[in-house]
Amino acid sequence: MARARLTWRTRTGRVVLSSCGALVALALIAGGYYWWGGPREHRAAQQVLDEACDGVLPSREMRDVLGDGPFAKGPGRVDVLLSGEDADHARDRGRTVTCTVTGDGVPVAGDDGNEAEVQVTVQRVPQRRGDDFAVDRASVRARGTDPLYPRPAAELPPVGLGGGWRGLFTTGESATDTGRADSSGATVVTLLDCARDRGGLLVTVDAKDEDVTLDDPRRRAAFARIATGTAAKASEKWGCDAGPGKPLRTVALPVNADESVPLADASGTCEGVPGRGGRIARAWESASSDSPVEVCVVAGERPELPAREPSNESPRYHLTAFYGPYADSERRDYTRRHGEYAEKPGPADAPAGPLAGGGRWASAVCRDGSGPALFTVRDEGAWRENRSSTYDEHRVKPSAADRAYERAALEEFARRSARAHGCAAPELS
C-alpha cells in the first residue's frame, strides 16, 4: 500500500503543514517571551537591586513591597550626604549610602498593582564616650541646615520594632490626624551596635505603597523587614559584625491622635509622669522598648491662653528621649538654630539646663559607645493663637509653677527611660 505524502499540493498536506508552522511560530513567540520578558526582565530588575545603595538592599524583602519589577533606581537623601570631594571620600569608606527604588508594587485585591517606593539610607555612626556631649561646631557651620542623620517624625510616639532590634516604626502622623484611612507610608529605623567598639550602623527606610493601608500588619512587617534586612547585609559587608535580631513577623501600629489614655493609666513611655494636680489628664504614649527615640505627649488645660477655650484633649507637654545618633543630631541642630556664640549654654555645652524659648534638657551617661542620651521637655501649648516669627511676643511666658512642673515631668520621664536603656541616672539642673 502506497504511503500518502504530505505536500503543499494536497489538501491534507496544506492543513498539516500549516498547523505545524503555527505551532513553531507559537513556540518561537513563547520562547522569545520567556527569554526577553522572563529571565532577562528578572535579571534587569535584580541588577537594579544589586547596584542600589552599594549592594546592601535585601532582594526578597524589597520585592515583598515593590513587586517583581521592573524597578527604577534614583538618588536618595541628598541632604545627609557630604558635598564635593568629602562626599566621594565618605562613600568610598562606606560611611553613607542612600538610594531610592520604585516599582509597580504588590498586586492587591481588585487592582493589578500600586506605585510603590522605597528610600534607604545607611550611615556609619562613630563611637562616642558616654560623657562626651560636645559637638564639632565647624561641621555644624559647614553643613548648614542639612541634618547629620535623617530624623523620623515623632510628633506622636513611634513604636519600637521588637524582636531584639533597636529601632522604631512611625507613620509620621500629627496630633491633628484622627484617621489612618489614607496612610500608606511609614519610616522605619534600625540602629546596630557594631562589635569590638567599632561604632554602629543606622538604617533609615521611608517606604510607601499607594492604595495600601498600614492597618494591615503584613504591610507594616514588610516595610520593617527592609530595614532589618538592609542592616544585616550592611553589617556583614562593612565589617560591623553586629548581632542581628529575630525575623520580624509583626510590628505594632503607632498611636493615633484619637488614642490618648488617662494619664493615671499610662504604662508605657508616659508612666509616672505627674499630673500637675489633675490639670494634666491625658497622655499619648507607646510601649517602652529599645527605641532610639521615645516620646510621651501629655495634655491638659491652659486657661491663661487668650482666644482659646480650655481643653484637656489638646497636647501640651512634649517629652522626648534621644539616644545615640539622634542625641548627637539634636545637639547639633540646637547649636545651629540658637547660635554657637549664645551666652547661655545649650545641650552641646552642659549636661542639663533650660532650653532657649522654654523647656528644659537633661543628659544621661550611656556606656554602650553611643554617647550620652538627651532628654527634653517642651510646652507646645504655650503659643498664643496668632503665631509669627517674633517668638517672644507670641508665647506665654512660663510661670515659676510651669518651670517646676517641667522639671518634675522631665525628671521622671528621663529616669525611667534611661534605666530601661541601661544608662546612668540622668543629670538635671
Residue 33 has pLDDT above 50, yes or no: no
Length in residues, the chain:
429
Segment 79-87 long-range contacts (CB within 8 Å, at least 24 positions apart):
79/146, 79/147, 80/121, 80/123, 80/146, 80/147, 80/148, 80/149, 80/150
Q: Decide: helix, strand or coil at residue 133.
A: coil
- Separation between Cα atoms, residue 87 and residue 398, nearest integer Å: 44
pLDDT for residue 1? 46
First to last CA, the chain: 114
pLDDT for residue 388? 44
Confidence band, pLDDT 50/70/90 cuts, at residue 275? very high
- Which position has the higher pLDDT, 118 or 357? 118
Residue 330 has pLDDT above 50, yes or no: yes
Q: pTM for this one?
A: 0.84
Task: Please say whether the beta carbons of 363 and 183 come within 8 A.
Answer: no
pLDDT for residue 215? 87
Indicate the angle between helix axes 39-51 and 59-66, nearest 10 degrees.
110
Confidence band, pLDDT 50/70/90 cuts, at residue 340? low
pLDDT for residue 343? 77
- Separation between Cα atoms, residue 404 and residue 407, nearest integer Å: 5
Q: Phi/psi of residue 145, each to 5°?
A: -90, -5
What one-character-per-residue DSSP string does 157-205 give? --EEEETTEEEEEE----TT----TT--EEEEEEEEEPSTT--EEEEEE
Pick the most confident of 28-42, 45-59, 68-82. Answer: 45-59
pLDDT for residue 230? 98
What's the Cα-to-Cα distance from 76 to each of 21, 54, 63, 330, rounded to whole Å? 51, 12, 18, 22
Q: Which three cell numbers stand for residue 17?
A: 503543514
What burial class does residue 108 get, using C-beta atoms within 10 Å of its C-beta: 0-12 exposed, 13-18 middle, 19+ buried? Answer: middle
Task: Tell me how far the alpha carbon of residue 351 is from its chain's centroid.
Answer: 27
Q: Residue 130 contacts by C-beta under 8 Å, 6 or more apart in sequence?
A: 365, 366, 367, 371, 372, 423, 424
Q: Which ranges in 284-365 belong to alpha helices (H)?
A: 325-338
- Average pLDDT of the residues in 110-124: 83
Confidence band, pLDDT 50/70/90 cuts, at residue 21? low
Task: Please say whether the beta carbons of 324 and 190 come within 8 A.
Answer: no
Q: Phi/psi of residue 200, each to 5°?
A: -150, 180
Task: Please say whether the beta carbons of 95 and 125 come within 8 A.
Answer: no
- Separation between Cα atoms, residue 27 and residue 209, nearest integer Å: 37
Out of 180-194, 203-217, 309-323, pick the least confident.
309-323
- Average pLDDT of the residues in 58-66: 95
Out of 176-190, 259-273, 382-396, pick the least confident.
382-396
pLDDT for residue 381? 65
Q: Phi/psi of residue 277, each to 5°?
A: 65, 25
Q: Residue 96 contacts by C-beta under 8 Å, 6 or more apart in sequence?
A: 80, 81, 82, 90, 121, 122, 123, 124
Out of 18-32, 261-275, 408-422, pick the least confident.
18-32
Residue 109 has pLDDT above 90, yes or no: no
- Separation between Cα atoms, residue 298 and residue 320, nearest integer Å: 12
Task: Please say whether the beta carbons of 300 and 281 come within 8 A.
Answer: yes
Out of 34-48, 183-197, 216-230, 358-372, pick the least confident.
34-48
pLDDT for residue 410? 98
Pick the most confident of 11-20, 73-82, 354-363, 394-403. Answer: 354-363
pLDDT for residue 115? 86
Residue 250 has pLDDT above 70, yes or no: yes
Residue 24 has pLDDT above 70, yes or no: no
Out of 105-119, 150-164, 331-345, pick the least confident.
105-119
Q: Mean pLDDT of all residues in the chain?
A: 82
Q: Residue 73 contacts by C-beta under 8 Å, 6 or more apart in sequence?
A: 48, 51, 52, 99, 100, 101
- Average pLDDT of the residues in 78-86: 60
- Average pLDDT of the residues in 202-216: 88
Task: Tell me how far the alpha carbon of residue 175 is from its chain's centroid.
Answer: 18
Q: Which ranges in 77-118 belong to alpha helices (H)?
A: 84-92
